[in-house]
Amino acid sequence: MRAHKNVLAFVMAGGEGSRLHPLTADRCKPAVPFNGKHRIVDFVLSNLVNSEIYSVYLLVQYKSQSLIEHVRQSWTMTRFIPQHFITVVPPQMRHGREWFQGTADAVAQNIHLIESFRPDIVAVFGADHIYRMDVRQMIDFHVRSDAQASVATLPVRLDQCDQFGIVEVDDRHRIVEFKEKPRATRPMPGSRTHALASMGNYIFNADVLLKVLRRMRDSGDSDFGKHILPSMVNTHKLVAYDFDTNIIPGTEPYEEQGYWRDVGTIDAYYEAHFDTLGAAPKFRLTNRQWPIYASSEPAESAQIENGIINRSVVGSGSVIDGASLDHAMLRRSVHVERSARLEHCIVMERSRIGRGAQVRRAIIDQDNDVPPMERIGFDLEQDRKRFHVSEGGIVVVPAGYFPPRAHGSSFIPREFDSGAETVHQRQEALA
């Protein structure tokens, strides 16, 4: 497998993430934290960099400030190699005063970037999923197939088809039909229960993509899945790349092969976290041969005074003082006080769980000081009066809902604790 040097990548990072509310109240979906140190966007960027694709434009739109700050701090590329960059691109409004109207429109509004870079291949990838993928293998398949566009695909249950773009293929992997989120569809060849779904990751020959984007300005089409790819089925050679054939070095036998999760809902986001826990997880984040890069952490190492901890992640700068953690995932600078209990919880940055508090099946967003003896996740009817509760019964406490107690300034880093700003005023920058 060779490195494809003349590849330009666009990452669609403008998602509003309304189904992830309130986690997306002050940040866009790709900027939502994941696991102990990561953001959702880190997965697609890591896959591209590990695949030796270093020329990346990140197209942003909604509530993008925290994502911009994260990329600036964590994804800097050397200035001595001009074609090595990860650059954030907001709507430029070069052809009008409209924001991005869809995925294809986002690329079309930045067509000048393709024209100036002059790539052979353009990769258009989503920023909303948890997975590992060697993109070079998909490009090799695209070239061998003499395709003009390729779509990464994987099987999904028939009752989930209305959530994905569904493709039908012939025996040579050529796409003969592309439907965006159909209510019903035929099963894929060789199965009665599954259909072939698009992952939202595409490879295009650059010359073909440029022609399509220029034509779409007059047609009013705006989205790859809804408009562009279905219209190309009869005029271009489109092929389906089987994601299950993608081989990642360092994958352990106990991991779920072809692991991929769309974390677009609270329940899916919550469940994907716990796929990473344990000695034999479904998806192991510590693969040294294919790392998922994360932000550098300025905080000190975690400190555990004492307590009972079972299958949990404790982020840097956190303190566990005589508490009980069972399937808990703590990001950085979280303080869990004596006799508190966390069960199947996600707790984000700079939060404190007070003495004797009990929290289960919940997501505590950043900058929360949960009071002593508080109970969350035990009475969902009462919880709904204060918080968002997902269909699966996951309680989500918004960022800054519980204000700091008298001692509270100690657990907010000093660099963020000056002046007259409140936690709410600086959530956009800290999210």
Which amino acid makes up residue 87? T
Give the integer Cα–Cα distance in Å for 263 and 424: 25
Provide the pairing of β-strand 33-34 with 38-39: antiparallel
Half-sphere exposure of 294 (CA within 13 A, CB side): 18
The answer to whether the CB of 138 falls within 8 A of the CB of 239 is no
Give the integer Cα–Cα distance in Å for 238 and 150: 6
- The 3-state secondary structure of 141-181 reads HHHHCCCCEEEEEEEEEHHHHHHCEEEEECCCCEEEEEEEC
Whole-number Cα distances in Å, 333 to 81, 405, 422: 36, 16, 18
Phi, psi of 224 (to 5 degrees): -65, -50
Tell the burial category of 374 from Cβ atoms under 10 Å away from its Cβ (0-12, 13-18, 19+).
middle
Which amino acid makes up residue 169? V
The three-state secondary structure class of 65 is helix
What are the binding residues for alpha-D-glucose 1-phosphate? 165, 180-181, 198
Give the integer Cα–Cα distance in Å for 348 and 193: 38
Angle between helices 41-50 and 65-74 (to 10 degrees): 30
What are the binding residues? 165, 180-181, 198
Q: For the chain, give the longest Cα–Cα distance.
A: 68
Which amino acid makes up residue 265? T
- The 3-state secondary structure of 301-359 reads CCEEEEEEEECCEECCCCEEEEEEEEEEEECCCCEECCCCEEEEEEECCCCEECCCCEE
